[in-house]
């Protein structure tokens, strides 16, 4: 037996722009991977990469411009995942339906399924943010990661507690769309709104005072040990500024998880 996740999002642009963002390598790097390679058309492929450990190419099974993109990826061991994007036009907007299937049942696949599901929750909002507000602008990204020696629930409490990433504690009662005004221990002031609030696993925000940069905190386990990741995607800051920020974040994570819990 296999499992499939289904997501849906409305984007206030026409399907042609959504299609280009899904299939053009330059456009893909403005909201999704760091690098992308595309051989267009049925029988072609799309490769997403987030660094030196590039995954395997996704074969294009269906290529219907501005309507449907169906990809398949065969993993080691012979398991094949299917990634299906369906675009529906209506009154200057596009409804994008995503289905990602082929995940096996059982505990061995649960962490991977959950990680992909949370990942798509963020990535689809990243796509909408780019198309509605940053269209045509290049993105600079940086991240800080740390492998966890404690369970994810305990790590989340540490990250959001007094010794965590925020000066003080995370505000209480957060929800998607709620206003946000926090200062990180590394000195960055984040004023904007909550994009995702998924306690114990994921938090994302739009930093309006940083020209709409996206900030994400994620805890995940996907085929290995649990990790924490702090991610920044900026359409305004210089590459060196973003890299320096990520360096400060890396030091902050090291401190949080090397010191005893309060």
CA gap 223, 100 in Å, rounded: 18
- Contact indicator for 7, 20 with CB cutoff of 8 Å: no
Quick one: pLDDT at residue 107?
72
Q: What are φ and ψ of residue 252, in 5° steps?
A: -65, -45
Quick one: pLDDT at residue 54?
63
Q: Rounded to the nearest 10 degrees, what angle do helices 239-258 and 152-160 cross at?
A: 110
Neighbour-count burial of 29, counting CB atoms closer than 10 A to its CB (0-12 exposed, 13-18 middle, 19+ buried): middle
Contacts with 115 (C-beta within 8 Å, 6 or more apart), sequence order: 220, 221, 222
Here the tokens at position 217 are 């905190």
89-137 tens-digit pLDDT: 998 899 999 999 999 887 778 888 999 999 999 999 999 999 999 999 9
Quick one: pLDDT at residue 91?
87
CA gap 29, 31 in Å, rounded: 6
Quick one: pLDDT at residue 262?
47
In which residue ranges of the chain is pLDDT below 50? 262
The torsion region of residue 152 among left (phi > 0), alpha (psi -120 to 50) and beta comes to: alpha
CA gap 91, 70 in Å, rounded: 25
Map residue 203 onto helix, strand or coil. Answer: strand
């Amino acid at each position: 037996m296999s499992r499939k996740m289904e997501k849906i999002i409305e984007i206030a642009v026409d399907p042609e722009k959504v299609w280009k963002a899904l299939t053009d390598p330059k456009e893909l790097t403005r909201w999704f991977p760091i690098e992308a390679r595309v051989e267009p058309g049925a029988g072609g492929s799309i490769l997403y990469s987030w660094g030196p450990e590039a995954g395997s190419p996704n074969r294009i099974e269906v290529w219907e411009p501005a309507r449907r993109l169906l990809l398949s990826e065969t993993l080691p061991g012979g398991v094949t995942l299917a990634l299906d994007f369906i675009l529906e036009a209506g009154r200057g907007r596009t409804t994008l339906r995503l289905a990602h299937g082929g995940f096996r049942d059982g505990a061995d696949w649960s962490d991977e399924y959950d990680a992909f599901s949370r990942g798509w929750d963020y990535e689809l909002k990243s796509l909408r943010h780019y198309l509605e507000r940053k269209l045509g602008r290049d993105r600079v990204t940086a991240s800080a990661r740390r492998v966890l020696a404690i369970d994810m629930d305990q790590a989340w409490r540490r990250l959001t507690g007094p010794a965590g990433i925020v000066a003080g504690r995370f505000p209480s009662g957060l929800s998607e769309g709620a206003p946000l005004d926090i200062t990180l221990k590394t000195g960055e002031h984040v004023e904007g709104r909550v994009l995702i609030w998924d306690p114990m696993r994921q938090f994302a925000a739009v930093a309006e005072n940083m020209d709409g940069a996206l900030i994400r905190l994620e805890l995940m386990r996907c085929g290995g040990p649990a990790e924490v990741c702090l991610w920044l995607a900026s359409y305004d800051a210089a590459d060196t500024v973003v890299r320096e920020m990520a360096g400060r974040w890396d030091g902050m994570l090291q401190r949080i998880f090397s010191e005893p819990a309060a």
